[in-house]
Amino acid sequence: MTIENMPMVKAINAGLRAALAKDDRVLLMGEDIGTLGGVFRVTEGLKNEFGSNRVLDTPLAESAIVGTAIGLAMRGYRPVCEIQFDGFIYPAFDQITSQLAKMTSRHEGELPMPVVIRVPYGGHIGAVEHHQESNEAYFAHTAGLRLVSPSNPHDAYWMIQEAIESQDPVLFFEPKSRYWPKGDVNLSANDIPLHASRIARTGTDVTLIGHGAMVSVLLQAAEIAQEEGTSVEVVDLRSLSPVDYGPILDSVRKTGRAVVAQEAPQNVSLGSEIAATITERAFYSLEAPVVRVSGFDVPFPPAKLETIYLPDADRVLDAVDRVLSY
């Protein structure tokens, strides 16, 4: 067993390196990903190792990046595209939702689309407009796409490789604020499938559910709640589409209370869908309404206001108090 302690940015880099070495059909595409190594240095060193035919610097044209990837996938390649920041994905929206998502069904399953789109997303980095959005709901709503988001380096290392091996298009949402905190990565083995949720912390009184960077906030809230005598269970979604509801529903049936948290706005969101599904499928186990904690239904604010906009442990704990009050 080989275990290394590394930040998520290095874990994704290592996962991409492993995928490139394993399969000559894998290639990376994106703005400044080659010589520079990407703005977050996720692809640093890979161009020197695998060459400019495998790690391609592209023009600043997201629609062209994804459109080219679709063509490459049709020819048997397994392209991995990087969208430099979450808010830059919209020029490629038509290619992703009108073409990539529908291509396999359009050909009655005869044409797989093994395209991965890496999307650094979310707040907590003090960036400007279009650089801190959580826009996963647009794509989770689109049939034909798979969405995943790791919360820790171990998952990031394995999930990027599993996403690349998928025959379906996968949007790989990378929480920017979790790029640098370190964690142990087991480079030898992984026992969690790509689309499985996991119990990040066990508890008995309340279930907290989230993904990406929000998982660390939920774990922080759980620690504080424990000191105050409340036992909190934390579920890391990992997969946003499809959602693995088994561990979620098992946890809620045990605790009787649920809080769903996300950085994205609440209206018509992934958190809203999960809250509705819990209510439908575990109604008779609930001791209180499912409560949602989210960003506000406004455009992401200037950096000085992000701490007000983004959910923190205090807002999560307030929701815990609300579900315990019933």
- Which pLDDT value is given to residue 20? 98
Q: Which domains does the chain carry?
A: 3-186 (3.40.50.970), 198-324 (3.40.50.920)
The active-site residue out of 131, 154, 195, 211 is 131
The b/e string for 162-192 (b: 16+ C-beta within 10 A; e otherwise) is bbbbbeebbbbbbbbbbbeeebebebeebeb
Average confidence score pLDDT of the chain: 96
User: What is the distance in angstroms between the CA of the first residue and the CA of the last residue of the chain?
Assistant: 47
Q: Which pLDDT belongs to residue 132? A: 83
Q: For 25-73, how does the pLDDT look when each residue is reduced to its tens digit (9 = 90+)?
A: 999 999 999 999 999 999 999 999 999 999 999 999 999 999 999 999 9
Residue 9's closest CA among 56, 44, 53? 44
131 is a catalytic site residue: yes
Preceding amide of 242 cis, omega within 30:
yes
Q: Where are the beta strands (DSSP E) in 187-300?
A: 198-201, 206-210, 232-236, 239-241, 258-265, 291-295
Mean pLDDT of 260-286: 97
* Contact between 80 and 136 (Cβ < 8 Å): no
- pLDDT at site 225: 97
- Tell me, rounded to whole angstroms, the distance of Cα 61 from its chain centroid: 23
pLDDT at 129: 81
d(CA 274, CA 23): 36
Structure token pair of residue 219: 């774990």
**3 state SS of 315:** helix
pLDDT digits (tens, 9 = 90+) for 169-201: 999 999 999 999 999 999 999 989 999 999 999
What phi and psi values does residue 145 have, to the nearest 5 degrees? -110, 145
Tokens encoding 297: 């239904």
